[in-house]
Chains A and B, each alone.
Chain A
């Protein structure tokens, strides 16, 4: 008789658990304290149901503003078999003046089986919120009352700067070369005309008079931009007035060159070459701007 009673009781105990629609239910929450304005609070709800019973996603709270100070930022539901994992992420916008106890509101999740539905209530959860600002009366007035956050550290950009500098200098060089090809610096080679002529002239002797005269002619031609003849000296001086001061020497040069090249019976003496070199040096001085 006693054995029979135990069996009946144990059967009764078993039957109760078998009929429950929710076999496992748990709400996992983080610490209930230490929050400040703007913090996010995750909440995880795990529900395991009997087979045939499913969760109604419409019964979950909707994303968005829940009340004046609480936002629901994210709702995710993961289902694996009869196990539902609901992740809610709340954010608090409440600026308390002192430590305040607040409550995430509870709600009811609907589970349905066929046309029947059962509610599973999620309990409210209470936590404390601390003020962000220093609200005590300060003993001393020293120090800053409110401080900004420390600025974020800058990303290292030295590499990029080096790259920029390198590409800019290459661009400038290319532009300069392009300008040279387009002939944008007509005056540049003219500044060294007599320098080059003098260098070549230095190695010549009396016997190379023809070459020497040709060199000076070429220098004057390239300075003038076109061949220069003695009858064009007036125009030449108008364009290069600084050469007017050696007019006499230039006249001597053209006269000498005419006699040398175009008439016969001309004897070259060493002094002529010397005079030619002197003329070239004068021109070099004018070219450098020191005369």
Chain B
């Protein structure tokens, strides 16, 4: 089959999948679109939001729709790395047994790994996850285990700060996107969520998502897609300007209120972050029926790909909830494309 028709077929499936998720989890279209982008660009996703807005339901629905082996674990303060790798118990004969833990249970077919409340886990667990996410492998029982298909979804709620561990910069950088989930805005959607019994039982709701079974072919698709979608020299220049602007926004005329701009940032975007940005932008161009990337693709994925990669100076870090979105918007507003 011709590669272009193959890509078109895939796009149809992707859009259909998106539509299905949007029917299951209503009012979160932008977040769903971003998750689809991350899935097809093969990047890990961190969801952040308030309690009970549907983060977990959304991720479960996506996992169910994609198919593939699925594991989840809840972050708690006493969770240790070993708990992810194995667990011990006494069997019926009273003998001690060691079985593979959630990460190893499915071996190399592990697809979606869902880490609930990631900021409740200790830094040791984060460290283990770092390797699993970046290299798609871990070392256990004196050998390496590979997970070529692993996709990590993590979520954390932004309300509580007690008994939580802030994710280290290195761990955040390994997530392709950090997506904020807000409550749906529309009154009809809120009404549906309140009164439609369909949304009351999430298990049944998620089970209603038909599995597309496309999961294990995603790696191959992503590779084809990344090679197929073109980027022009002008776009390279634009992306480079965006990258530089995340390091020295003042040079591009970005000015935030009550901030000494040269002292604003401790670190700008990393090369890995920029490569994730381009991957996501290419995927977006593909979903938008194009074979080339436009600045608007970069702009669409820039906030979700970049916000968690910029580290503010401690002096102004207490205002990051306000400053980071302003900074991202300022950069997008000030950097000209052609």
Interchain CB contact (< 8 A) of B291 among A217, A261, A263:
A263
**Cα-based distance from A227 to B335 in the complex (angstroms):** 7
Q: Mark A219-251, 1 if CB is under 8 A from B, else 0.
A: 001000011011100000000000000000000
Closest residue of B by beta carbon distance from A230: B296
Instruction: Note all chain B residues with C-beta closer than 8 A to A214.
Output: 338
Q: How distant is A208 from chain B, measured CB to nearest CB, in Å?
A: 14
Instruction: Note all chain A residues with C-beta closer than 8 A to B291.
Output: 263
Q: Does B232 contact A263, Cβ atoms closer than 8 Å?
A: yes
B180 at the interface (CB under 8 A from A): no
Interface residues of A (CB under 8 A from B): 213-214, 217-218, 221, 226-227, 229-231, 257-258, 261-264
Minimum-distance CB pairs A-B, first 3:
A227-B336, A263-B292, A261-B234
Closest residue of A by beta carbon distance from B231: A262
Complex A-B: 17 CB contacts under 8 Å: A214-B338, A217-B337, A217-B338, A218-B336, A226-B333, A226-B334, A227-B336, A230-B296, A261-B232, A261-B234, A261-B338, A262-B231, A262-B234, A262-B293, A263-B230, A263-B290, A264-B230
Instruction: Note all chain B residues with C-beta closer than 8 A to A262.
Output: 231-232, 234-235, 292-295
Closest residue of B by beta carbon distance from A225: B333
Q: How distant is A222 from chain B, measured CB to nearest CB, in Å?
A: 10
B20 at the interface (CB under 8 A from A): no
Inter-chain contact total with CB atoms closer than 8 Å: 44
**Cα-based distance from A286 to B248 in the complex (angstroms):** 37
Instruction: Note all chain B residues with C-beta closer than 8 A to A221.
Output: 336
What interface size band does chain B fall in?
A: 10 to 19
Q: Does A227 contact B235, Cβ atoms closer than 8 Å?
A: no
**Cα-based distance from A231 to B298 in the complex (angstroms):** 12
Instruction: Note all chain A residues with C-beta closer than 8 A to B293.
Output: 262
Q: Does A227 contact B292, Cβ atoms closer than 8 Å?
A: no
Q: How distant is B187 from chain A, measured CB to nearest CB, in Å?
A: 24
Q: How distant is A256 from chain B, measured CB to nearest CB, in Å?
A: 11
**Cα-based distance from A218 to B336 in the complex (angstroms):** 9
**Cα-based distance from A285 to B201 in the complex (angstroms):** 62
Instruction: Note all chain A residues with C-beta closer than 8 A to B230.
Output: 263-264
Q: Mark B221-240, 1 if CB is under 8 A from A, else 0.
A: 00000000011101100000
13 extra interface residue pairs, beta carbon distance < 8 Å, beyond A261-B232, A261-B337, A262-B292: A217-B338, A218-B336, A221-B336, A227-B334, A229-B295, A229-B337, A231-B296, A261-B235, A261-B338, A263-B291, A263-B292, A264-B232, A264-B292
**Cα-based distance from A131 to B137 in the complex (angstroms):** 129
B22 at the interface (CB under 8 A from A): no
**Cα-based distance from A230 to B337 in the complex (angstroms):** 11
Instruction: Note all chain A residues with C-beta closer than 8 A to B299.
Output: 229, 231
**Cα-based distance from A244 to B66 in the complex (angstroms):** 44
**Cα-based distance from A226 to B329 in the complex (angstroms):** 12
Q: Does B295 contact A213, Cβ atoms closer than 8 Å?
A: no
Q: How distant is B55 from chain A, measured CB to nearest CB, in Å?
A: 28
Closest residue of B by beta carbon distance from A258: B294
Q: B294-338: which have CB < 8 Å to A?
A: 294-296, 299, 333-338
Q: How distant is B227 from chain A, measured CB to nearest CB, in Å?
A: 15
Interchain CB contact (< 8 A) of A213 among B294, B335, B338:
B338
**Cα-based distance from A258 to B297 in the complex (angstroms):** 12
Instruction: Note all chain B residues with C-beta closer than 8 A to A213.
Output: 338
**Cα-based distance from A262 to B236 in the complex (angstroms):** 10
Q: B218-264: which have CB < 8 Å to A?
A: 230-232, 234-235
Instruction: Note all chain B residues with C-beta closer than 8 A to A257.
Output: 338
Closest residue of B by beta carbon distance from A227: B336
Q: Mark B200-230, 1 if CB is under 8 A from A, else 0.
A: 0000000000000000000000000000001
**Cα-based distance from A231 to B231 in the complex (angstroms):** 19
**Cα-based distance from A231 to B234 in the complex (angstroms):** 18
Instruction: Note all chain A residues with C-beta closer than 8 A to B337.
Output: 217, 227, 229, 261
Q: Does A227 contact B232, Cβ atoms closer than 8 Å?
A: no
Q: Mark B272-296, 1 if CB is under 8 A from A, else 0.
A: 0000000000000000001111111
Closest residue of A by beta carbon distance from B296: A231
Closest residue of B by beta carbon distance from A231: B296
Q: B21-59: which have CB < 8 Å to A?
A: none
Instruction: Note all chain A residues with C-beta closer than 8 A to B290.
Output: 263
**Cα-based distance from A186 to B2 in the complex (angstroms):** 55
**Cα-based distance from A172 to B276 in the complex (angstroms):** 56
**Cα-based distance from A217 to B292 in the complex (angstroms):** 20
Closest residue of A by beta carbon distance from B334: A226
Instruction: Note all chain A residues with C-beta closer than 8 A to B335.
Output: 227
Instruction: Note all chain B residues with C-beta closer than 8 A to A258.
Output: 294
**Cα-based distance from A231 to B337 in the complex (angstroms):** 13
Instruction: Report which residue of B231, B234, B295, B338 has the largest number of chain A beta carbons within 10 angstroms of its beta carbon.
Output: B338
**Cα-based distance from A257 to B296 in the complex (angstroms):** 13
Instruction: Report which residue of A231, A258, A264 has the largest number of chain B beta carbons within 10 angstroms of its beta carbon.
Output: A258
**Cα-based distance from A272 to B13 in the complex (angstroms):** 38
Instruction: Report which residue of B290, B292, B299 has the largest number of chain A beta carbons within 10 angstroms of its beta carbon.
Output: B292
**Cα-based distance from A264 to B292 in the complex (angstroms):** 8
**Cα-based distance from A112 to B63 in the complex (angstroms):** 136
Q: Mark B115-142, 1 if CB is under 8 A from A, else 0.
A: 0000000000000000000000000000
